[in-house]
């Protein structure tokens, strides 16, 4: 079977090209990046050559001399990411997308695929139009769409903008793979040993055998004895009590309300009286409402002591709202909030205080859940997006163990097979994993474009089954036995 030659620009550790190689229809010739450590990981896990090179420079002749069929790449996303809060069109980091197109124009591949954060599509209409214009100018038909990795077997909600550009000489319309194959965090991690090794990250596989399709793919049906990069960080001792009380699938954040958030009054419910729980809830819920705040400044503010007491004791509207937040007993209890109750919470560090016009005013403290980052993954659901910082124990906790995710567990959630071994220190590997394209998402894209180029139905890596009916009968099922 003919294999198509691939070059991976901004390759990092090589998640994008790993997915192409998993389809066994593509061969990666080169991975190019400016960072040395990810290139070491790339070189360890790919047959192709990892090259340190600035893509803003001219393309080396030896690359142009090789026949490259597919260009893939993920221009760094710092200028696009919602998480960074920087979305300027003229951000110099955004010009790397245009340098990517310049390389495509010189290499002249059959297809080019560019991946980036979803924010790339909303930064500015002119930006996306310019990308399309430049692809069209060099002779490519281009289309783009936001794909969620969670639909492609990846146990993670990770939305990414994907551009597919096809050389116009093929007269093929760029389309996208459409699947709905779900994997939960529990399905992804249940065969990984609980105990980590923070010396070298190497542990023996537990006696647990792969119990589902995802695990068999991760272990490649070759039940090796060793598991690599299985090291993790632990919460600080002073925070361990919080961690032990945080329920699976929840985030400790008193100032946000919804199914996934737990306030201090719930997490530590056994440590407070009913009245103390009400005080904490009231401050967290009403700190942003003008009629309760100590000042007229915009946004949340401290609430005066007398308003806290008056509102909880005598305000029917507050009472009705409290009932909606599981304080139903407020109707049956003789509630009498006092100054001493509020001040005790302050003395114990659960709330903070300042004086405004000679009055004590209060707000939720960091200890009380103002901006803590602890959240625990849920085995029955997909993870939220794995970020480069998520291996700090304050970011993402293991679903049931009182520690952060191990690097290998994060790699599993990103859908890296276990034989993909990362090089570098803990921080570097965390960054490599968080920045990567999930290989299973990349695999689905690879299978799709192979089908577009060959216009026929082919056996997939995971065997086949009808999923959707379009002009072409798209067939792919991840995880068949």
| Structure tokens given for 123 | 């930064």
Q: Using the structure block, give the residue that is written with the tokens 């299973």.
A: 440
CA distances from residue 29 to 3, 70, 163, 346, 433 in whole angstroms, order as listed: 11, 10, 21, 62, 22
Among the options 13, 71, 77, 162, which is catalytic? Answer: 77
Give me the DSSP letters along 299-336.
S---EEHHHHHHHHHH-HHHHHHHHHTT-GGGGTS---
Residues forming a β-bridge with 252: 262
What are the start-end ranges of the H helices in 396-458? 407-413, 426-435, 439-454
- Per the annotation, the verdict on 361 as an active-site residue is no
User: Is 74 within 8 Å of 131 (Cβ atoms)?
Assistant: no
The four Cα atoms 258, 260, 263, 266 give a dihedral, to 10 degrees, of 110
Q: Using the structure block, give the residue that is written with the tokens 């090291």.
A: 231
- State the number of CA atoms in the 13 A half-sphere of 353 facing the CB: 16
**Distance (Å, whole) CA 116 – CA 14:** 15
Residues forming a β-bridge with 362: 303, 353
Residues forming a β-bridge with 156: 383
Positions annotated as catalytic residues are 77
């Amino acid at each position: 079977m003919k294999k198509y030659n691939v070059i991976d620009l901004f390759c990092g550790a090589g998640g994008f090209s790993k997915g192409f190689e998993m389809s066994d229809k593509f061969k990666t010739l080169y991975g190019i990046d400016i960072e040395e450590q990810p290139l070491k990981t790339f070189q360890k896990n790919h047959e192709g050559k990892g090259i340190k090179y600035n893509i803003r420079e001219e393309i080396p002749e030896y690359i142009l001399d090789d026949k490259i069929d597919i260009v893939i790449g993920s221009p760094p996303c710092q200028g696009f990411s919602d998480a960074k809060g920087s979305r300027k069109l003229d951000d110099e980091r955004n010009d790397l997308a245009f340098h990517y197109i310049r390389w495509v124009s010189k290499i002249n591949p059959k297809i080019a695929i560019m991946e980036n954060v979803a924010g790339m599509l909303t930064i500015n209409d002119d930006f996306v139009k310019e990308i399309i214009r430049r692809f069209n100018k060099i002779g490519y038909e281009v289309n783009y769409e936001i794909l969620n990795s969670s639909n492609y077997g990846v146990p993670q909600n990770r939305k990414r903008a994907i551009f597919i550009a096809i050389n116009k000489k093929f007269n093929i319309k760029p389309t996208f793979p459409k699947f709905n194959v779900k994997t939960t965090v529990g399905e992804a991690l249940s065969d990984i040993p609980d105990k980590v090794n923070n010396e070298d990250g190497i542990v023996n596989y537990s006696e647990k055998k792969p119990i589902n399709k995802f695990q068999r793919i991760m272990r490649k049906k070759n039940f090796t004895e060793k598991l690599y990069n299985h090291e993790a960080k632990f919460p600080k001792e002073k925070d361990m009590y919080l961690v032990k009380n945080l329920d699976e699938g929840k985030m400790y954040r008193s100032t946000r309300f919804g199914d996934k958030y737990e306030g201090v009054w719930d997490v530590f419910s056994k440590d407070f009286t009913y009245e103390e729980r009400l005080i904490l809830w009231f401050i967290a819920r009403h700190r942003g409402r003008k009629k309760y705040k100590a000042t007229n400044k915009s946004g949340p503010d401290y609430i005066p002591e007398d308003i806290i007491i008056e509102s909880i004791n005598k305000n029917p509207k507050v009472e009705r709202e409290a009932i909606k937040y599981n304080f139903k007993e407020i109707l049956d209890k003789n509630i009498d909030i006092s100054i001493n109750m509020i001040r005790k919470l302050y003395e114990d560090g659960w709330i903070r205080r300042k004086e405004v016009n000679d009055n004590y005013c209060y707000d939720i403290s960091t200890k009380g859940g103002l901006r803590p980052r602890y959240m625990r993954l849920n085995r029955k659901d997909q993870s939220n997006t794995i970020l480069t910082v998520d291996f700090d124990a304050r970011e993402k906790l293991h679903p049931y163990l009182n520690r952060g995710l191990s690097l290998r567990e994060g790699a599993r959630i990103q859908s890296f097979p276990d034989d993909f071994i990362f090089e570098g220190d803990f921080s570097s590997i965390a960054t490599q994993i968080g920045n990567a394209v999930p290989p299973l998402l990349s695999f689905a894209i690879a299978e799709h474009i192979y089908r577009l180029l060959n216009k026929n139905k082919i056996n997939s890596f995971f065997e086949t089954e009808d999923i959707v009916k379009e002009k072409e009968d798209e067939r792919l099922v991840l995880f068949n036995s």
